[in-house]
Amino acid sequence: MNIFIDQASQFTDKTVTIRGWIYNMRSSGSIAFLQVRDGSGFMQAVVSKSEVEESIWNIVEGLTQESSVKLTGKITRHPKQDDVFEMQVESVGVFQKSEEYPISLKDHGPDFLLDNRHLWLRSKKQWAILRLRDVITTAISEYLHQENFIRVDSPVFTPNACEGTTTLFPVPYFDLGDVYLTQSGQLYAEAAIASVGRCYDFGPVFRAEKSKTKRHLTEFWMMDAESAFVEHEENMDIQEGLVKHIVAKVLSSCKKELDILERNTETLQKIVDKPFVRYTYTEAIQKLNELGSDIKYGEDLGNDDEGMLTKDSDVPIFVERWPAEIKPFYMKRDETGKIALNNDLIATEGGGEIAGGSQREDNYEELLKRIKEEDLSEEDFAWYLDLRKYGSVPHSGFGFGLERLVRWMSGVQHVRECIPFPRVVNRVKP
């Protein structure tokens, strides 16, 4: 019977077959210990020279790192570790004997590992990150569906910008001239709420920023959510609920992965248990000044400011109600017209900004005025303006960057490890 490694506990003292790869091995001459992975998990397979045929032992002695194999044997409990199972091998089949593998078990530099990203993904740490990413993706969709959102995907080709035109990648589009790779699905999700009420999209987005920080990619995955009849405060409530759901799901589903990543789960548990902190932008600037930052009112928060603000906090911090003049045209303003009804959500432990949201401007005349003030094309945004002419309602939305969530949950330093094949300013291969 073929099984996956993560099913081994169900087959104690039974003879089964596992198919996978040898990622490490050692031998004393009479007994060999094969470290095997199959995608679902990792297992030690023990081969005793005296217990197998000579031909089987010869095959084992010829195995190399990353050889693909089929192992048949009895599943037994590990003699020294609880809840750990291993295989007592009876026969070995080889799918392919690997050539000398370029990534040894010693340390390698980041450039070498990125050049060999297609192979680096096989390492234990990268395996754990990929699985963590999958759980986070699933948790996002799970929570949003619980809150009556449905998925409505937005186009990747777009005729205009959601944020600023300087961060767009232009693409020749037949006889229509240049179009752009999307920065965000927000505007299209806003159109869909008049049909489905609450929706989200989840897909790749592109930013042509020449940024080389640990938190920036040129291609990454974004979840944008929009909801009709939701205003600023409730919008933050939904974001907080989503983060708590993600963290709880990671804690319950990724114990093995978090252990491999040496992640402190006690700090994650506090995020589930406590309400998030909410500062107005003005309060955040005052607090940062008290902590020693030289940031001035009207300036964006830098990485150091975000870290300083959350340093002693057990939970993420909302920074809300920013000066409207430094925020995009589509954000609703308060009664003074000077403050945007928006938020950034700053993660703990140096996670930085993981989400941004706002109530959207729902008044046609006000939105048109802002489009003109920003010197944007009224023609390009005509369809977006239409949404305010035919049954406009108060509505709000937010966006989460998937890789930033993965970086925060995993505790890794660089966001490039949080996507299978990272695209950054100076790298587009493999």
Domains in the chain (CATH in brackets) are 5-96 (2.40.50.140), 117-418 (3.30.930.10)
- Cα–Cα distance for residue pair 410/139, rounded to 1 Å: 15
Encoding tokens for residue 371?
């489009």
**Sequence-separated contacts (24+) of 333-340 with Cβ below 8 Å:** 333/361
- 25 forms beta bridges with 34
pLDDT score at 7: 96
Q: Tell me the whole-structure pTM to 2 decimals.
A: 0.95
Query: What are 172-229's pLDDT values in tens digits?
Result: 999 999 999 999 999 999 999 999 999 999 999 999 988 888 888 999 999 999 999 9
Task: Say if CB 149 and CB 199 are below 8 A apart.
Answer: yes
Q: What stretches in the chain show pLDDT beneath 70? A: 161-166
DSSP string over 261-299: TT--HHHHHHHHHSPPEEEEHHHHHHHHHHTT----TTP
Q: 């095997």: which residue's tokens?
A: 36
- Cα–Cα distance for residue pair 52/308, rounded to 1 Å: 61
Encoding tokens for residue 225?
């959510």
Measured CA angle at 82 (ends 81, 85), to 5 deg? 75
pLDDT score at 146: 98
